[in-house]
Amino acid sequence: MDGLLVSFFITVVTMAVCFYFGQRIGGSNDFERTLGIYGTCTGTVPSGISLIRMVDPDFQTATAMELGACNLVMLASTPVYLLILALASGTISDRQTVAGLTACAAIYLAALKMTKSWGSKTYRWR
């Protein structure tokens, strides 16, 4: 039962974060981008592209190409993988992992602000 609650909580948090940032990256294709980000966060980039394809079957927006280019940017998440692997192997403690993940989140959020990828809401869904 605990696993089900954790899965539900993580799904809701992931969805909230994706919808929050998806509306603030900018551009006219925020909805497609939000779906792509959510698909990527809950699976892989091809999952995100599949969701984009459902709402943009002819790829009239550049969202699918943007998401494909994100693979390069995702190299910046390597410290997160290393922290999780170190925790799983028993090399570092829970506390050290949380501290490391918190530092990564702060750096990633600062990078979003510095690159102006995190701004005010640009699209209002009906």
User: Does residue 21 lie within any of the structural domains?
Assistant: yes
Q: Is residue 75 part of a domain?
A: yes
Q: How many folded domains does the chain comprise?
A: 1
Give the Cβ contact number of residue 25 at 10 Å. 19
Does a structural domain hold residue 33?
A: yes
Residue 71's contacts (CB-CB under 8 Å, 6 or more residues apart) are 45
- Give the predicted TM-score (pTM) of the model: 0.75
Which domain range does residue 18 map to?
2-114
Under a CB-based contact definition with an 8 Å cutoff, are residues 118 and 22 in contact? no
Over the stretch 67-81, which tens digit does the pLDDT of each residue have?
Answer: 888 778 888 889 999
Please indicate, yes or no, if residue 123 is contained in any of the structural domains.
no
Residue 126 lies in a domain: no
Residues 59, 55: Cα–Cα separation, whole Å: 9
Judged against a pLDDT cut of 90, whether residue 125 lies above it is answered with no
Note whether residue 12 is domain-resident: yes
Q: Tell me, yes or no, whether 122 lies in a domain.
A: no
